[in-house]
Chains A and B, each alone.
Chain A
Amino acid sequence: MSTCHPHPQGAFVTIFDNILERPLEPNLIWIFALEMQRYMQTYGITKEEIALVSVKNKRNALDHPSAQVAEEITVKDVMESEVMVAPVNRLDVSPVSDGAAAIVLVSEDVARRLTDKPVWLDGVGWNLDTAYWTNRDLAFPAYVERAARMAYKMAGITEPRKQINIVEPYDPFSYKELHHLEGLLLADKGGAPKLTADGVTQRNGDMPVCPSGGLLGVGNPIAAAGLMKVAEIFWQLRGEAGRRQVPGQPKVGLAQAWGDLMQVGTVVVMRVD
């Protein structure tokens, strides 16, 4: 995206409705700010609670060899960073990045020939909601829930909060990690901030979330970001995540991506034997 001139954000004006929204000259960040505002107001969540996600992910990213914006920051730093589109501040947003990710998918017998620790894709799910985003409940990503249910059913997951050991939800903005955790049914509606504040989502917590540092800490190559998360879960389940490794030998992980005009949810459930 870095070739877009004068700024990649300008290219995203094309995702809005051509006729009813582009004449209003929207900036991409508007959708996130509007959604974040609704999420905060519906559940009484503060900016400080949301800022903890940026703090966690940017710190986690210090251990990632490809991290673009890893750093040690505080909630105060987030609150005092430049207001872009209120309530979104600069440190609530992932950066403009270029990146790529690749995975190799093979059949079962090839996998067993190639390695003694294959990672299985047990479940996949996807859902596309209406592009009329202004008619949807912005406080809850229903398309993520439907995608998650599809993946859980395929993977035989009946109690996700107990059975999923490690999660990489899509986190282009700090509040999005929380929003998506709730959509994935891994937290109650409005309950994800408390999990963060209680340390449950830290690497050494009961349910590590974005141990890689996520998009907020590593970078956001947008179209490659989903696969980036699948790759992270792969390394984590095989114990190959180096300094980012979540302790306790996680067996089941989940990667989730999101896209377009707040409408696409995709979920992958992965497992090692």
Chain B
Amino acid sequence: MGSTEHIERVTDLRAWPGDFPVSHLYTMGVAGERFFRELKDSGRFLGTRCAACDHVHLPPSIFCPRCFAALDEWKEVGPQGTVRAVTIAHHGVEGEPLDPPETLALVQLDGADDLLLHRIGEAQGVQIGARVEPVFKEPAERTGSILDVRYFRRV
């Protein structure tokens, strides 16, 4: 049997606001440090290759997630690549409408076996199979983040 008390009027409803008051500070890890420094300082993408699996991992890692071998073979990949999947987002992270809508894609950079998620800019008519290239921020603006690439656009 439930309580017999009820709130009769909508105006009596109360909500208490709150938030999650801490932020998170991440470091990149050994492989991430090298990947993002290379992106920042030289505008190049690096992957690591597992000889046993014949697989180039992107982003790079220091062990192979498939066979657990330690990886120390670094390889430049891209900068160009091929769109393997594409979608258009009409709503943002908090559900707000995006105007203009944002195009996102999984790009396979030349030489890499894994796909990289990023935005597609100047996106009219980009489809699976399209050849794309990165558009970087100016060197002085780069911070060692995946956003040092503004977006990928059709070659």
Direct contact of A and B (CB under 8 A): yes
Of the candidates B18, B21, B26, the one whose C-beta lies within 8 Å of that of A10 is B21
Q: Which of B17-34 contact A (CB under 8 A)?
A: 18, 20-26
User: Binding site of B, secondary structure by majority: helix, strand, loop or mixed?
Assistant: strand
CB distance from A59 to the nearest CB of B (A): 32
Interface residues on A, range: 10 to 19
Q: Give every chain B residue within 8 A of A10 (Cβ-Cβ).
A: 21-22
Q: Give every chain B residue within 8 A of A6 (Cβ-Cβ).
A: 22
Complex interface bits, A1-27 against B, C-beta within 8 A gives 1, otherwise 0: 001111110110110001100100000
Of the candidates B16, B18, B20, B24, the one whose C-beta lies within 8 Å of that of A3 is B24
**Using a CB–CB distance below 8 Å, which chain A residues touch chain B?**
3-8, 10-11, 13-14, 18-19, 22
Q: How far does the alpha carbon of A5 sit from the alpha carbon of B22 in the complex, in Å?
A: 6
Of the candidates A3, A13, A19, the one whose C-beta lies within 8 Å of that of B21 is A13
CB distance from A14 to the nearest CB of B (A): 6
**Using a CB–CB distance below 8 Å, which chain B residues touch chain A?**
16, 18, 20-26
Contact B16 A18 (CB under 8 A): yes
Contact B16 A4 (CB under 8 A): no
Of the candidates A5, A11, A14, A18, the one whose C-beta lies within 8 Å of that of B25 is A5
Question: Which chain B residue has the least Cβ–Cβ distance from A3?
Answer: B24
Q: Give every chain A residue within 8 A of B26 (Cβ-Cβ).
A: 3
Q: How far does the alpha carbon of A19 sit from the alpha carbon of B26 in the complex, in Å?
A: 31
CB distance from B22 to the nearest CB of A (A): 4
Sample of 18 further A-B pairs with CB below 8 A, known A5-B24, A8-B22, A10-B21: A3-B24, A3-B25, A4-B22, A4-B24, A4-B25, A5-B22, A5-B23, A5-B25, A6-B22, A7-B22, A10-B22, A11-B20, A11-B22, A13-B21, A14-B20, A18-B16, A18-B18, A22-B18
Question: Which chain A residue has the least Cβ–Cβ distance from B14?
Answer: A19
CB distance from A235 to the nearest CB of B (A): 25
Q: How far does the alpha carbon of A111 sit from the alpha carbon of B29 in the complex, in Å?
A: 38
CB distance from B3 to the nearest CB of A (A): 17
Contact A19 B24 (CB under 8 A): no
Instruction: Show 21 residue pairs from A and B whose CB-CB distance is below 8 angstroms, ordered by the A residue.
Output: A3-B24, A4-B22, A4-B23, A4-B24, A4-B25, A5-B22, A5-B23, A5-B24, A5-B25, A6-B22, A8-B22, A10-B21, A10-B22, A11-B20, A11-B22, A13-B21, A14-B20, A18-B16, A18-B18, A19-B16, A22-B18
Pairs A-B, 3 closest by C-beta atoms: A5-B25, A3-B24, A10-B22
Q: How far does the alpha carbon of A18 sit from the alpha carbon of B26 in the complex, in Å?
A: 27
Q: Give every chain A residue within 8 A of B24 (Cβ-Cβ).
A: 3-5
Q: Give every chain B residue within 8 A of A7 (Cβ-Cβ).
A: 22
Q: Give every chain A residue within 8 A of B25 (Cβ-Cβ).
A: 3-5
